Amino acid sequence: MDFQAIFDNFRTTVTEHYFDMNGRVGRAQFWYFVLAYVAFALAAGLLSVVTFLPLVGIFHLAMLLPSAGMGARRLQDIGRDGKLVWILIFAAFVSQLASVITWLGALSMGWFGFLVFGPSIALLWLLSLALFVAMVVLVYFWCQPGDRGSNAYGPPPPVFDAAKRVSPTP
C-alpha cells in the first residue's frame, strides 16, 4: 500500500471532483478516500485540542460536498440513485440543529429549560435513531460490489490500486 497513492486519490477527489455527482467510483477508491478522510479528521481533531480552534467542524464543513459527491458516485456504481446520500446529510443537519436548540434552551433556562424542551429531547433521540438507520443503510450499499458493465450512470470506473502512485481519473 502506497500512502502517496491514497493521498493522491483524496487530493484528486477534493480538487477535481469537488461536487461531482456524475459517473461512478469503485469500492477501493471510495474506501481509500474514506480512510484518508478519517486520517485528516483525526489530525484536525488533534490540532483543535492544541489550538482551541474549531478545526474539526471547519474540516467537516469543507469536506461536506466532496464526501457527498463521492458517496453519490459510489451509489451510482451499484445502480442506485446518488441522491440517496442527501438523506444522510439532511438527517445529520436536522439532528444537529435540534441538538443545538435543545441545549441552548436548557443552558439558558436551567432545569426549567429541560421541562420546556423535554419533548424536543425525545424528538432528538428519534432523529438520532433515524440518522443511525440511514447511515447503516448507506454503508451497506457502499459495501456492495458495483455493476460489472455499464449502467444508467456510465461505464464501469477504472480499478484503483493503492500500490500504484498514479491515481485514476474517474
pLDDT at 120 over 70: no
Q: Which of 45, 70, 49, 81 is nearest to 60 (CA)?
A: 45
pLDDT in tens, 76-101: 999 999 998 988 888 778 777 777 77
Residues 28 and 51 in one domain: yes
pLDDT-derived band at 167, boundaries 50, 70, 90: very low
What's the total number of domains in the chain? 2
pLDDT of residue 100: 75
d(CA 13, CA 170): 9
Picking from 79, 106, 125, the residue at the C-terminal end of a domain is 79
d(CA 26, CA 19): 17
Q: Per the domain annotation, does 1 fall within a domain?
A: yes
* Residue bearing the bigger pLDDT, 101 or 17: 17
> Mean pLDDT of all residues in the chain?
84
Residues 66 and 32 in one domain: yes
pLDDT-derived band at 118, boundaries 50, 70, 90: low
d(CA 76, CA 72): 6
Mean pLDDT (whole number) for 9-38: 90
Domain, as residue range, for 132: 81-145
Residues 3 and 63 in one domain: yes
pTM here is 0.80
Residues 89 and 66 in one domain: no
pLDDT over 90, % of the chain: 35
pLDDT of residue 92: 78
